[in-house]
Amino acid sequence: MLKIESFQLGPLETNCYLVMNAETHKAIVIDPGMNPGALIRRIQDLDVEAIVLTHAHFDHMGGVDEVRKLKNCPVYIHDLEADWLTDPKLNGSLRWSQVTGPLSTDPAEYALEDRQSLELIGHTFHVMHTPGHSPGSVSLLHGNDLFAGDVLFRMSVGRTDLPGGRQNDLLDSIHQKLFKLDDAVKVYPGHGPRTTIGFERANNPYV
């Protein structure tokens, strides 16, 4: 059984998810954003096995260094955005100078790919490559829990006007992958409140 806690981190209120095995207290961190103090305090006594990034925009990776150094854990990201972690221009932190200074971190240890089964904390997470918001965006599915990054939000979708974004790719990702999932699947987005696949399929005005 998984236990999921969320933290709204940084000036863009990015959702970071702490996903724990309720029996072993092993955990993974999904998208440790900027100003991760609340997350850092929470994981002090946890065994964090990995950091998994849905994509490498600065507001989703701003806390990678602090978590990785504290827990000595590896980072996973799709290969199409491997270079973004080390390049402030690619991850957008140079573009948003009013929000942050240039952000960079060491390269990720592992690459994610479509249809990969990721074995972490005694559970299997299924990786779906869901580009559109960014070229290397991924969504992670475990049972009826979907960590969707900035692909699908409650009554909205990810923006596609940033470098590497493509609206057609985003809509394909949603219709051909996410909307193939069961109505009951809970969506944990990169920003805003939780939703479900069924609710978005029926009500989302952008898709």
The rounded distance, in Å, linking the Cα atoms of 28 and 120 is 8
The rounded distance, in Å, linking the Cα atoms of 56 and 112 is 12
The confidence score (pLDDT) of residue 1 equals: 83
The second-level CATH assignment, the architecture, of 2-98+107-203 is 4-Layer Sandwich (3.60)
- For the stretch 73-121, pLDDT in tens is 999 999 999 999 999 999 999 888 888 999 999 999 999 999 999 999 9
| 120 contacts 87 by C-beta, under 8 angstroms | no
The confidence score (pLDDT) of residue 17 equals: 98
The confidence score (pLDDT) of residue 25 equals: 87
| 93 contacts 102 by C-beta, under 8 angstroms | yes
Q: With CA atoms as reference, report the closest residue to 83 among 159, 168, 164.
A: 164
The rounded distance, in Å, linking the Cα atoms of 42 and 19 is 12
- For the stretch 31-60, pLDDT in tens is 999 999 999 999 999 999 999 999 999 999
Domain spans, the chain:
2-98+107-203
Which residues make Cβ contacts (< 8 Å) with residue 35, sequence separation at least 6?
Answer: 9, 10, 11, 62, 63
Counting every residue, how long is the chain?
A: 207
149: alpha, beta or left? (left if phi > 0; alpha if psi -120 to 50):
left
